[in-house]
């Protein structure tokens, strides 16, 4: 494993200049996610417009991987159809669990292809997923709010099954605390 | 005293000969866990290969040998910390469990209106158990603040009457796992004792680094862990004054901790067995005893002097690295071996990763002390911590790797703003 694979220029560029950073109005849901092992935090807002993610904005502290990943994700998901965005989340998750073996489609992943290098470092996978998991959670909550449902449930856009409107962060190896 | 021979000590630790890629390992994460000498590993192997049996209940030869080793380890621990009797030594699985044991048993005496005092520099293990027990009993949790140079703020505590007639327990780290601050336990213990409160000390960092005498320290209870004193994981210690332990209810229920069990109710064994439900960490106790033999063989005074020397040297070297800010006490203070710092513009996780790529093992994060980081206005920090086997060359490797890290993350910075890249020149496999 080479540390240069981890810190590719794309990642460092996004770390230095985080796209869509700073909380914006209007929004349909706001969530707060943390990575308990290192204390990285994100407050993230999602605005939906029909079947589309109209906006994602966030305020986050954390390492270069978590910051760059959130920046890349916001670029990718803003303006995207919700179902397709959630499909892309699943594909990103699959890539992050590939231990460097995935060969992502550059046209679909754009700058997110750089994170295949991160998947070689299991301890850092959680960093790359922080913003994505927050977005998935926020989208689910925004959908729930829109349907005016009294119970906190939503329909999984992939499987059609009903589930609680919170997302579980996938759990790569944890640092002891 | 003969000169401290760090190379001879290192020869007992095979892992220190390891390389990480093309670099020799520089293990600077001993506050997290210490490395183990051959002697400890051999003692554990010998126990399992020649003497293994359950303790106390097995009456055969092996059972007698295992029991003798296990209880012998208790005596060994008692001697190491200056306890009045082996009966004051309770084995747990780690320091966290020891502190939970203290919190839960002392918690049986807490009522609404009572106060428990900790500090903002505590490890989460010395905060959360007290939060839980306060929540359950209606007692109030209060805490010492720290000064900007990372010392316990005794003045503020005194003027605000932090320790008062409502205080039932004061629980403090002896040595901070982040800042390396050495707390004035004796002074605070005297305050606690004046108001009849119990003084609990988290010795997880202090016991490995300094000669320990529980009486001189002023503690009523002291928690520490085996794996930070060159012993195995899976064993911790709660020392308590025998009259105090005798007065406390059990923590966990099960085998070994009872006197008579009837369906209508049971009675408890005296300490220490009252607090040791189920099969204890037997091989780990054997390993811990071997570790304490090892440390005493070198001498805790000599180890403490080496720790001070290497810490001073590390502080000097870190001061030379551009952008480094050390949190907590400076070189002129009496301090422990943990050095937490920030490097301007680089997140601790990224620092840790870059240092790791050069064989330098440190910890990045909040080190299970988030309130302390909040107090210093930083989200997290990087921590380097040496021990009896740490060399100046390893500290030099740290300083060089930090310089490299600073340059690595500074590359490209300040150049013309880049347009967003969607090209394959930096794509997968394009890295060096």
Q: Where are the domains positioned within chain A? A: 3-164
- Given a cut of 60, is residue B339 above it in pLDDT? yes
What number does CATH give the domain B40-296? Answer: 3.40.640.10
- Given a cut of 80, is residue A60 above it in pLDDT? yes
> Which of A65-69, A143-147, A155-159, B295-299 has the weakest average pLDDT?
A155-159
Alpha-carbon gap, residue A106 to A117, rounded angstroms? 14
What pLDDT, on the 0 to 100 scale, is given for residue A5? 80
A3-164: CATH architecture:
Alpha-Beta Complex (3.90)
Query: What mean pLDDT do residues B18-39 have?
Result: 97
Radius of gyration of chain B (CA): 23
* Burial (Cβ within 10 Å: 0-12, 13-18, ≥19) of residue A100: middle
- Given a cut of 60, is residue B35 above it in pLDDT? yes
Contact B4, B302 (CB under 8 A): yes
Q: Min CA distance, A165 vs chain B (Å)?
A: 28
- Given a cut of 50, is residue B415 above it in pLDDT? no
High-pLDDT (> 70) share of chain A, %: 82
**DSSP tag of A8:** -
- pLDDT band at residue B413 using 50, 70 and 90 as cut-offs: low
Residue of A nearest to B33 (CA): A176
- pLDDT band at residue B352 using 50, 70 and 90 as cut-offs: very high
Domain assignments of chain B as residue spans, ordered by start: 6-30+299-409, 40-296
Do the chains contact at A10 and B417, CB–CB below 8 Å?
Answer: no
Average pLDDT score, chain B:
93
- pLDDT band at residue B388 using 50, 70 and 90 as cut-offs: very high
Please list the active-site residues of B.
368
- pLDDT band at residue A139 using 50, 70 and 90 as cut-offs: very high
DSSP A13-50: HHHHS-TTBS--S--SEEEEEEETTTTEEEEEEEEEET
Q: Which of B335, B363, B129, B103 is CA-nearest to residue B240? A: B103
pLDDT in tens, B162-172: 999 999 999 99
pLDDT in tens, A109-119: 999 999 998 99
Query: What mean pLDDT do residues B146-164 have?
Result: 96
* Burial (Cβ within 10 Å: 0-12, 13-18, ≥19) of residue A38: buried
What pLDDT, on the 0 to 100 scale, is given for residue B2? 59
Do the chains contact at B432 and A39, CB–CB below 8 Å?
Answer: no
What pLDDT, on the 0 to 100 scale, is given for residue A83? 96
Residue linked to tokens 């080190």: B367
pLDDT in tens, B244-290: 999 999 999 988 888 899 999 999 999 999 999 999 999 999 999 99
B6-30+299-409: CATH architecture:
Alpha-Beta Complex (3.90)
Tell me: cis bond preceding B272? Omega within 30 of 0 counts.
yes
Do the chains contact at B426 and A124, CB–CB below 8 Å?
Answer: no
- Given a cut of 90, is residue A157 above it in pLDDT? no
Contact B68, B50 (CB under 8 A): no
What pLDDT, on the 0 to 100 scale, is given for residue B411? 75
* B353: chain A residues, CB-CB within 8 Å: 3, 6-7, 121, 124
B413 touches chain A (CB under 8 A): yes
Q: Min CA distance, A92 vs chain B (Å)?
A: 14
Which residue would you say has higher pLDDT here, B376 or A165? B376
Q: Min CA distance, B181 vs chain A (Å)?
A: 20
- pLDDT band at residue B422 using 50, 70 and 90 as cut-offs: very low
Q: Min CA distance, A143 vs chain B (Å)?
A: 31
Question: Which of A19, A62, A116 lies closest to B347 in CB terms?
Answer: A62
pLDDT in tens, B97-136: 999 999 999 999 999 999 999 999 999 999 999 999 999 9
Phi-psi region of B345 (alpha: psi -120 to 50; beta: other; left: phi over 0): left
Query: What mean pLDDT do residues B230-238 have?
Result: 98
* B354: chain A residues, CB-CB within 8 Å: 3
User: What part of B 386-405 touches A (C-beta under 8 Å)?
Assistant: none
- Given a cut of 80, is residue A46 above it in pLDDT? yes
pTM of the model: 0.88
* Burial (Cβ within 10 Å: 0-12, 13-18, ≥19) of residue B225: buried
* B366: chain A residues, CB-CB within 8 Å: 38-39
Query: What mean pLDDT do residues B29-57 have?
Result: 96
> Which of A39-53, A155-169, B224-238, B292-306 has the weakest average pLDDT?
A155-169
Sheet of B140-144, strand order: B89-92, B236-240, B221-225, B198-202, B167-173, B115-119, B140-144
């Amino acid at each position: 494993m080479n540390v240069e694979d981890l810190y590719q220029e794309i990642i460092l560029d996004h770390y230095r200049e985080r796209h869509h950073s700073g909380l914006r109005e209007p929004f349909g849901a706001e969530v707060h996610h943390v990575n308990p092992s290192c204390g990285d935090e994100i407050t993230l807002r999602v605005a939906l417009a029909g079947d589309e993610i109209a906006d994602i904005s966030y305020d986050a502290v954390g390492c270069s991987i978590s910051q760059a990943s959130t920046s890349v994700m916001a670029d990718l998901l803003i303006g995207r159809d919700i179902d397709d965005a959630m499909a892309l989340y699943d594909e990103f998750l699959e890539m992050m669990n590939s231990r460097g073996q995935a060969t992502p489609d550059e046209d679909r992943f754009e700058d997110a292809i750089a994170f295949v290098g991160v998947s070689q470092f299991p301890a850092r996978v959680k960093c790359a997923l922080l913003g994505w998991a927050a977005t998935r959670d926020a989208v689910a909550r925004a959908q729930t709010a829109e349907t005016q449902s009294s119970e906190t449930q939503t329909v999984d856009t992939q499987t059609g099954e009903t589930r609680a409107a919170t997302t579980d962060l996938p759990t790569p190896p944890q640092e002891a605390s | 005293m003969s000169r401290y021979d760090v190379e001879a000590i290192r020869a007992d630790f095979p892992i220190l000969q390891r390389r990480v890629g093309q670099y020799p390992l520089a293990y600077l994460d001993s506050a997290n866990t210490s490395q183990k000498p051959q002697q400890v590993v051999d003692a554990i192997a010998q126990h399992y290969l020649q003497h293994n049996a359950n303790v106390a209940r097995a009456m055969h030869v092996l059972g007698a040998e295992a029991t003798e080793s296990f209880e012998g380890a208790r005596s060994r621990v008692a001697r190491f910390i200056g306890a009045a009797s082996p009966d004051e030594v309770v084995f747990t699985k780690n320091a966290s469990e020891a502190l939970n044991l203290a919190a839960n048993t002392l918690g049986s005496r807490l009522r609404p209106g009572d106060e428990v005092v900790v500090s903002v520099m505590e490890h989460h293990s010395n905060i959360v158990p007290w939060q839980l027990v306060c929540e359950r009993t209606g007692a109030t949790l209060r805490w010492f603040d720290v000064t900007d140079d990372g010392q316990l703020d005794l003045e503020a505590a005194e003027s605000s009457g932090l320790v008062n007639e409502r205080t039932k327990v004061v629980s403090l780290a002896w040595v901070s796992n982040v800042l390396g601050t050495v707390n004035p336990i004796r002074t605070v213990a005297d305050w606690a004792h004046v108001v009849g409160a119990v003084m609990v000390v988290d010795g997880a960092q202090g016991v490995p680094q300094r000669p320990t005498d529980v009486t001189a320290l002023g503690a009523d209870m002291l928690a520490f862990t085996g794996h930070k004193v060159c012993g195995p994981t899976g064993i911790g210690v709660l020392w308590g004054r025998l009259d105090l332990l005798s007065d406390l209810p059990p923590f966990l229920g099960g085998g070994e901790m009872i006197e008579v069990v009837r369906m209508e109710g049971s009675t408890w064994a005296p300490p220490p067995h009252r607090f040791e439900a189920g099969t204890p960490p037997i091989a780990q106790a054997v390993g811990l005893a071997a570790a304490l033999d090892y440390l005493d063989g070198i001498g805790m005074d000599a180890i403490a002097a080496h720790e001070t020397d290497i810490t001073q040297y590390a502080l000097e070297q870190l001061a030379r690295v551009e952008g480094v800010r050390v949190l907590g006490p400076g070189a002129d203070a009496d301090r422990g071996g943990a050095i937490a710092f920030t490097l301007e513009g680089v997140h601790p996780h990224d620092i840790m990763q870059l240092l790791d790529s050069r064989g330098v093992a440190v910890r990045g994060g909040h080190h299970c002390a988030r309130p302390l980081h909040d107090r210093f206005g930083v989200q997290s920090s990087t921590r380097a911590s040496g021990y009896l086997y740490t060399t100046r060359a390893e500290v030099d490797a740290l300083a060089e790797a930090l310089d490299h890290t600073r340059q690595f993350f500074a590359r490209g910075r300040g150049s013309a703003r880049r347009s967003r890249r969607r090209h394959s020149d930096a794509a997968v496999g394009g890295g060096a």
